[in-house]
Amino acid sequence: MKKANIKADPRMAGIVLIVLVAFICVCRCFYTVDEQKNAVVTQFGRVLKVNTAGMYFKAPWQSVHKVDMTTHGTGIGYTVNGSGQNITDTDTGIMITSDFNLLNIDFYLEYRVSDPVAYLYNSEEPEDILSNIAMANIRTVVSNYTVDEAMTTSKSQIQADIKEAMIKELEKRDVGLTVVNITIQDSAPPTENIVAAFKSVETAKQGADTAKNNALQYQNQQIPEAEAKADGIIQKANAAKAARIAEAEGQVARFNQTYEEYQKYPLVTKRRMFYEKMEEILPSLKVIITDGSTQTMYPLESFSGVSGGSTESNVTE
């Protein structure tokens, strides 16, 4: 009898081991999901289902990924030190308003998972994407308001605009997150160093605008003056052109008239033209016309009282 018991012990141990392994496998096939989470069940990388609160069974080759569905919060524009005091983050907390002023403004963002499957598989770092979207929309919305509005009367509207813009952007990105609420914690002018640097930038910008405006003003002054000068030159050229044409036409008409008279009386015309040309060339020359038989010539100036000195010439025809 003792030998039989000894032989039966290994079998019993194997059965117990099998039962224990089976019990462990069965226990691992059951899982629970609390009210604050959702469970995403996958099989070989493919999503099978999403379970809410309760107790469920799965096959051993299936996996369960639990996602926290509660609301989370994070600060934007500030960090919290060890003593719980808020410290301004100049990289994210300094904003530019529509009237080109700087504003140190802090936000508190509340968000939660809206789609656990998208949260797990559509992006590697959904929280980082949420942070970038928040910063982009905060800067855009704040830049639409003046510094006085952002610090006083328009806080509620700014919060509503940012929330609406972020929800639309998150739906477009489909990272499985949504905005619950965003509130302005504090808003105040930035430090003196930042204000001084910003004023330097604004001064340089205004100087550039002034130089540009002066250049445009100079251009607007010089262009009409140049156009006026060009018009004057063109008008003078046109007047000279008209005068030359009129003079040429007058000379042509005169020549035609002279030629007509020449054709009628060639000899008389030749003489008249000769006398006119001589008077033109030698205005002080005295021209005396004789028949060639006169022996003595008396200057007419002595009788008329005009002093002589002019040159006399006999022209015999």
Tens-place pLDDT, residues 219-263: 888 888 888 888 889 998 998 888 889 888 888 888 888 777 777
- Is the pTM here over 0.85, yes or no? no
CB-based burial, 132-149: b 16+ in 10 Å, e otherwise:
ebbeebbeebbeebbbeb
Tens-place pLDDT, residues 83-133: 766 677 777 788 888 988 888 888 999 999 999 999 999 998 999 999 999
Locate tokens 């990388």: which residue? 45
Pair 98, 143: CB distance under 8 Å: yes
User: For 197-219, what is the mean pLDDT?
Assistant: 83
- Residue % of the chain over a pLDDT of 70: 77
Beta-carbon contacts of 50 under 8 Å, excluding residues fewer than 6 positions away, are 38, 39, 40, 41, 116, 117
Phi and psi at residue 276, in whole multiples of 5°?
Answer: -65, -40
Higher pLDDT, 300 or 140: 140
Please report, as a single letter, which amino acid is at residue 62: Q
Distance CA 309, CA 294 (A): 22
